[in-house]
Amino acid sequence: VAERILKNWGMDSFIDASEVLKAGNNFQKYLDERYENYKIFKEWPIFIRNEDKQVIQGWIDMLLETEEGYVLIDHKDYPGSNPEERAKLYTPQLSAYKEAVEKSTGKPVIEILIHMPVKGIVLKLQEEENLVGAL
């Protein structure tokens, strides 16, 4: 299945299917070690108007529901250097998604993570300072 997906996206000459499966397994292990008793929602649709009457619409790659609140996860394919700087570019998008999740569920988003499987890293978006730190 992984080989077919890579071929359909024209990525089969850039990355081996076994590496994709390994990245997925590593990420699942990371989630299991970090969070307890969570539910996973994949490709979660959002649509909301913010206080400025702007429409926020999109698909959240992955949303974990924990006892404390939600963990918003965005998968990004970025093979370049300085992934922390690249991740900062997604702050407005992910902040808007956070607002939409909190308004529609009444529960807080406790973390925003950017998963870069090609790099094998997970970065935590620290919204208040607009910083990103590796986990």
CA distance 72 to 109: 7
Give, for 31, the enclosing helix (H) or strand (E).
helix 17-34
Query: In a structure prediction context, what are the per-residue pLDDT tens digits for the chain, which is 135 residues long?
Result: 778 887 887 877 777 888 878 888 899 999 999 999 999 999 999 888 878 888 888 999 999 999 999 999 999 877 778 888 888 888 888 998 998 999 889 999 999 999 988 788 899 987 544 444 444
Q: Are 74 and 114 in contact (CB under 8 A)?
A: yes
